[in-house]
Amino acid sequence: MKKSIVLLSVLLSASAVEASQPAPQVVVARTTIQAFAKQLGGELKMAMKAGGPVNAIGVCNVKAPKIAQETNKEGSAKISRTSLKNRNADNAPTDWQRAVLLKFEERKAAGEDVTKMEHSEVVGDQFRYMKAIPTAEICLKCHGANIAPKIAAKLDKLYPEDKARGFKKGDIRGAFYVTQPK
């Protein structure tokens, strides 16, 4: 399906950042995000193809955390996703993540390109990295303001405290979060 290919490339382009001399941990963080996004994009694509977005919800809400778990097993870097308006309560931001997400919103308001927005910081013995996730057209099916009744009904059932709706194209949907030992 065309739309899912768009979704895949959106997820992939999230990791195509260039900077002159990134720290080695930044390179690891970007690679980890790329692997995660590629796998999630692939699963979503298959699910959409097999049964449309209603089916994709069912696959996604099980697969996303599982893929994160598998990605996390491979190295010392740990990946997750978070958002100021999270769908899954497990993805609610910590205070530190919330502060970065709010800063991302400020940077966007000041005209910065969301697709290239990232932040890294050493906190205690941890290297923390966050990368903004832009909202694409395809995401609106499940995160927009006018979600089809069938999809909305399923989301209501799975996520009674869902906050991840009402997004517009170009909004910051959330961020990837990667931690590594310093």
Angle at Cα 47 formed by Cα 45 and Cα 48, nearest 5°? 65
Span 163-182, contacts to ligand HEC by CB under 6 A? 164, 173-174
Query: Does 81 sit near ligand HEC (CB under 6 A)?
Result: yes
If you search the block for the tokens 């930044």, which residue do you land on?
26
Nearer to ligand HEC, 128 or 173 (CB): 173
Write the burial class of residue 174 (CB in 10 Å: 0-12 exposed, 13-18 middle, 19+ buried).
Answer: buried
Write the burial class of residue 143 (CB in 10 Å: 0-12 exposed, 13-18 middle, 19+ buried).
Answer: buried
- Token code pair at residue 16: 């195509």
If you search the block for the tokens 């697709």, which residue do you land on?
115
Whole-number minimum distance, CB 154 to ligand HEC, in Å? 9
Q: Of 31-39, 87-95, 96-104, 107-115, which segment contacts ligand HEC by CB under 6 A?
A: 87-95
Q: Of 30-38, 57-65, 105-113, 118-126, which segment contacts ligand HEC by CB under 6 A?
A: 57-65
- Token code pair at residue 131: 């990368």
The answer to whether the beta carbons of residues 177 and 130 sit under 8 Å apart is yes
Write the burial class of residue 142 (CB in 10 Å: 0-12 exposed, 13-18 middle, 19+ buried).
Answer: buried
Strand partners, 129: 120, 178
Q: Of 17-25, 58-66, 101-109, 117-125, which segment contacts ligand HEC by CB under 6 A?
A: 58-66
126-134 vs 78-82, strand pairing mode: unpaired
Nearer to ligand HEC, 128 or 174 (CB): 174
Interacting residue with ligand HEC among 26, 35, 37, 56 (CB under 6 A): 56
Query: Does 84 sit near ligand HEC (CB under 6 A)?
Result: no
Span 89-148, contacts to ligand HEC by CB under 6 A? 91, 133, 135-136, 138-139, 141-143
Query: Does 63 sit near ligand HEC (CB under 6 A)?
Result: no
Using CB under 6 A as the criterion, which residues of the chain lie in contact with ligand HEC when the complex forms? 7, 10-11, 53, 56-57, 60-61, 64-65, 81, 83, 86-88, 91, 133, 135-136, 138-139, 141-143, 164, 173-174
